[in-house]
Amino acid sequence: MRRVLLGVGTVATVCGAALLLTPLSVPYSPPIVPTLGVVAAAGILLGAPVLGRQLGIRRGGEPLPDPGTRDGRAVPGDGFDADLAAVSARGDDDRRERIRDRLETATVAALTDASGCSAADAREALAEGSWTDDPDAAAFFAPHVAPSRSLREQLRAFVAGDLPFVRRAKRVVAAIEALER
């Protein structure tokens, strides 16, 4: 039924437009020309949405996803988060090395972008622990930098199962974000 109405509307619109453009093709009577103009305009206004739906054109497209949801899509850094979450107190040397390499690469890139230094200077700053004011982040690359923690903080971290490697890696990520601002 819709296709029939679409066809009738299209024919009426074309005829109305033709009569509007060539008014001398019909005998002139004052009410016919404005009436045909109204019919043509109504045909266009009413037929355009139907034609658009038939052609598969959607107004507005798909709705945007809610910013608070991820609905299963991969996000950059998911692999890193999974590696970091899987680090245990024993072993995992390969995983730790992978994390260390990724963080070193990202930190060197952030330092060279933020301060304009060379990659060699950035690596030297990492080894010295002078690249950040955060002692946990500095200790990740420079083991000689020992962040001072109270006994209470150390006990709280132990009870919570907070591994120094994981805590320091997270502080490095936070320091990189601070450099990029």
Flag whether the pTM goes above 0.85. Answer: no
DSSP the chain: -HHHHHHHHHHHHHHHHHHHH-GGGS---TTHHHHHHHHHHHHHHHHHHHHHHHTT--SS-SPPPPTT--TT---TTHHHHHHHHH--SS--HHHHHHHHHHHHHHHHHHHHHHH---HHHHHHHHHHT-S-S-HHHHHHH-TT------HHHHHHHHHHT--HHHHHHHHHHHHHHHHT-
Q: Are residues 92 and 170 in the same domain?
A: yes
Q: Are residues 43 and 96 in the same domain?
A: no
Structural domain harbouring 30: 2-54
Note the pLDDT tens digit of each residue in 1-22: 778 877 887 887 787 777 667 7
Residue 143 lies in a domain: yes
Q: What domain count does the chain have?
A: 2
Residue 111 lies in a domain: yes
**The pLDDT of residue 64 is above 60:** no
Residue 60 lies in a domain: no
Q: Are residues 24 and 101 in the same domain?
A: no
Which range, of 41-45, 52-56, 90-94, averages the lowest pLDDT?
52-56
